């Protein structure tokens, strides 16, 4: 419920209020042992932080979310979070790690049959000069 209210607030431009509501959610999911919902909430928080230009905070949320989705082996989550985390890492000087994450996203989107998102990931890879980097296994 908090997440839905937070999304409504965000759509109304009430970013700070949405952020406060979202920040309550990870603890609740920890207590419930709901790793999937926690990972999704961290993804939501990261997107808000990107809009607020809080790149480091967004990167921290994305890194944790990505790790949780990897642990769950949830390909869609890995791909979506990686699409945002990869470029942030590249921009922060962690180009090899960022490219690996982007390639994993591209390959995952291809596996899921989501061609437009795979092309978006490929374009990001090319943009940071990673066209010749081998695919992630």
Residues 111, 102: contact at Cβ < 8 Å?
Answer: no
- CA gap 117, 32 in Å, rounded: 32
Domain architecture of the chain: domains with CATH: 1-73 (1.25.40.10), 74-130 (no CATH)
**pTM attached to this predicted model:** 0.81
Cα dist. 76→28, 53, 56, 87, 90 in Å? 23, 25, 23, 18, 21
Question: What is the 3-class SS of 7-39, one letter each residue?
Answer: HHHHHCCCHHHHHHHHHHHHHHHHHHCCHHHHH
Q: What is residue 97's predicted lDDT score, i.e. its pLDDT?
A: 95
Measuring CA to CA, which residue among 77, 71, 79, 69 is closest to residue 108? 79
Q: What is the pLDDT of residue 2?
A: 63
Q: What is the pLDDT along the chain (137 residues), one digit of tens a residue?
A: 666 676 676 767 777 777 777 677 777 788 888 999 999 999 989 988 888 899 999 999 999 999 999 999 999 999 999 999 999 999 989 999 999 999 999 999 999 999 999 999 999 999 987 544 433 33
The pLDDT value given to residue 137: 31
């Amino acid at each position: 419920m908090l997440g839905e209210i937070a999304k409504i607030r965000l759509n109304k431009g009430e970013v700070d209020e949405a952020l406060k509501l979202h920040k309550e959610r990870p603890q609740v999911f920890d207590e419930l042992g709901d790793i999937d919902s926690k990972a999704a909430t961290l993804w939501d928080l990261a997107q808000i932080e990107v809009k607020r230009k809080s790149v480091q905070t967004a990167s921290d949320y994305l890194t944790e979310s990505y790790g949780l989705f990897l642990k769950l082996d949830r390909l869609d989550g890995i791909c979506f979070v990686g699409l945002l985390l990869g470029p942030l890492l590249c921009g922060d000087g962690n180009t090899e790690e960022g490219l690996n994450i982007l390639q994993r996203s591209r390959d995952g989107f291809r596996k899921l049959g989501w061609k437009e998102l795979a092309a978006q990931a490929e374009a990001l890879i090319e943009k940071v000069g990673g066209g010749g980097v081998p695919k992630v296994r």
